[in-house]
Amino acid sequence: MQTSLHQAGAPAPPPPMKFSMPMFRDFVPEGLRPWIYVLQAFCFQFSGGVYLGSMNNMIGERAWMREDVLMCLYANLIGMAIYFPVLFRMKFHFTNRFLLICSTLTIIACNLLVLLPLPKPIIWGLCVVCGMAKIQGTFENMSNIQLWMTPTRDMGVFFPILHIILLTSIEVSAFLAALFAFEHHWMLMHWFVCGLMLFVIFVQTLLTRPFHAMPKIIPLKGIDWFGALLWMVFCLQLTYMLNYGDWLDWWHSPTIRLLCGTSLITLAVCLQRMLYHPQPYYEPAMWTYRHVVPIIVLIGIVEMLFSCEHVLEMVYYEEVMHYADHTYEALNQWSLPGIWAGCLFSVWWLKVRQWNVYKLIAIGLTAFSLYAAGFYFRMDASLNIEALRLPIVCRGFSYSILCIAFMWALHAMLSFRHFFQALSVFNMIHMFVGGSAGAALHAHGLGYYVADGFARYSHALDAVRLSARGVQIGPYMEHFVENMLAQSVKILFGWTLYAGIFFALLMLLWDIPMVRHRVKRMQTWPSVGFQVLSRFRRQQRLKKLRQMRRARTAAG
């Protein structure tokens, strides 16, 4: 049923705003300027601390475990997520060229240092810093061309275009990493990213001039840096537990028990600081908006469902089908048509038709159910690789729709002051907490069903009877184990299919609009900057008043 987001008496859409890029030098053609920033955004999104496409090569050369490489990836995502609340403060304090060049130099340094045989905690720290630089560079590029993409700052247009860049870069960079590792060496991807960053430095040095988005520089005072550090430590502790828990056998490990206790202490300190600090990193008012908590919980559930991509698919490809990394990544490129179709469908749904977003979420979950059903009904130890393309297209379609819908819902619910704080929490759940929790559940379920399968069918393994029938025990056991793994993965895909159908029906039955019926007007950067400056001055006045009262009390 078509439900329009328009209501009687709804305000008219905001008038178009003038787009310009004064940071470029005069000889650069105006029509070319935004495309240069689009290219730079792709360059930043190609970067990372480590690259999963070359995971097996890193494991073999450095004697790492799969969990070690995944921890580097999660550390990079933690750096990206934790940095969101200070993006605008950095934009209003430094010039555009300074931020971009500093981000590129940081990414180059991190990519080169990761190649050294450093201790793993240091590499995790480098990945965190690299994630911060990556999101700073991406934000600086995209914020400067937002008016070019949508003159009215319509998030129903901006978010789909943004995710075309983000998700395309993720898939292509993974394929390039696998290709470099197969053809040459896995370190070549790091050198390739350094070359992209040098290209950005070259463009910024020759084609741009220092430009500040505000007529007056806003100081960086008032940011709760210690609170941000505490939240980052808590995220690292939680991710370590979820990532290494299955390997360390969960509560049987003293490391997991100790880490669980210390993480609870860290969380308590974070919450105490959030509630009682005069300017916390995450303000408590952010949680008081209607439907924020249900959206955050739903994001976590959806990410737990999508973790089957990194656990069940990988087990099936590597242990059952024996695909190499570059074969898997080449197959994974079939998600790109689904991603592009999902982004265009979101523009049509949110911008053209302007329908409610909760039904768009239901469509995304339905597409995810089709992806899980494709693997569940067609999975076999002798399956042709072409049969996996359509489910992967459905996965890309679903993931792009859900990412856009959740981000659009948060933007429509929250004020601008709290949106980037909520976006930081959204990305924590979206990037690593939900994924790592889902991966832990899938890994635990896989171990259970594999052991259950061996317990049920191992009585048929009799070396005497098999040899009497002329069966070679070695190839037979290999085929038996492959079928047990395929059967276990198939069972878990079945449970995932049930969960996807359940939540899709839940969203269809939930006939309460989760967001406002109109996209709110986005303010201009100078107006946002002056609001930040006024809040900073108000904090300074309150601080002086408190100092005067303390002085009077001490004198009295």
**What is the 3 state secondary structure string of 144-183?**
HCHHHHCCCCCHHHHHHHHHHHHHHHHHHHHHHHHHHHHH
Q: Cβ of 42: how many Cβ atoms within 10 Å?
A: 18
| Residue 227 token pair | 């609170």
Tell me the longest C-alpha to C-alpha distance in the chain: 102
The CATH number corresponding to 28-220 among 3.40.720.10, 1.20.1250.20, 3.40.50.300, 1.10.10.10 equals 1.20.1250.20
pLDDT of residue 4 exceeding 50: no
**Per-residue confidence (pLDDT) for residue 530, from 0 to 100:** 61
Rounded distance between C-alpha atoms, residue 405 and residue 243, angstroms: 28
Residue whose tokens read 């379920």: 445
The reported pLDDT for the residue numbered 6 is 35
Rounded-to-integer distance, Cα 158 and Cα 229, Å: 31
* Confidence category of residue 477, pLDDT binned at 50, 70, 90: low
Are 502 and 366 spatial neighbours (Cβ–Cβ below 8 Å)?
A: no
CA separation for the pair 322, 91 (Å, rounded): 47
* d(C-alpha 196, C-alpha 246), whole Å: 37
Q: How confident is the model at residue 105 (pLDDT cuts 50, 70, 90)?
A: very high
How many whole angstroms separate alpha carbon 137 and alpha carbon 436? 26
E strand or H helix at 347: helix 335-347
Nearest to 239 by CA among 48, 420, 81: 81
Using CA atoms, how far residue 270 sits from 230, 233, 276, 382, 539, in Å, is: 6, 10, 10, 51, 21
Q: What is the CATH class of 287-522?
A: mainly alpha
Q: Residue 525 above 60 pLDDT?
A: no
Mean pLDDT (whole number) for 81-102: 86
pLDDT interval class at 339 (50, 70, 90): very high
Task: Please state the rounded mean pLDDT for residues 505-521.
Answer: 57
Angle at which helix 335-347 crosses helix 389-413, to 10 degrees, equals 30
> What are the strands, taking DSSP E only, across 443-526?
none
pLDDT, average across residues 218-228: 81
pLDDT reading at 397 higher than 90: yes
**Mean pLDDT in residue range 360-376:** 90
In angstroms, the CA 428 to CA 131 distance is 13
pLDDT of residue 554: 73
At 274 the pLDDT is 85
The answer on pLDDT for 541 being more than 90 is no
Task: Inform me whether the pLDDT recorded for 317 exceeds 50.
Answer: yes
pTM tops 0.85, yes or no: no
Q: How many CA atoms lie within 13 A of 294 on its CB side?
A: 14
Answer whether residue 284 shows pLDDT above 90.
Answer: no
Q: State how far the Cα of 165 lies from the Cα of 464, in Å rounded to an integer.
A: 59
Overall average pLDDT of the 490-519 stretch: 74
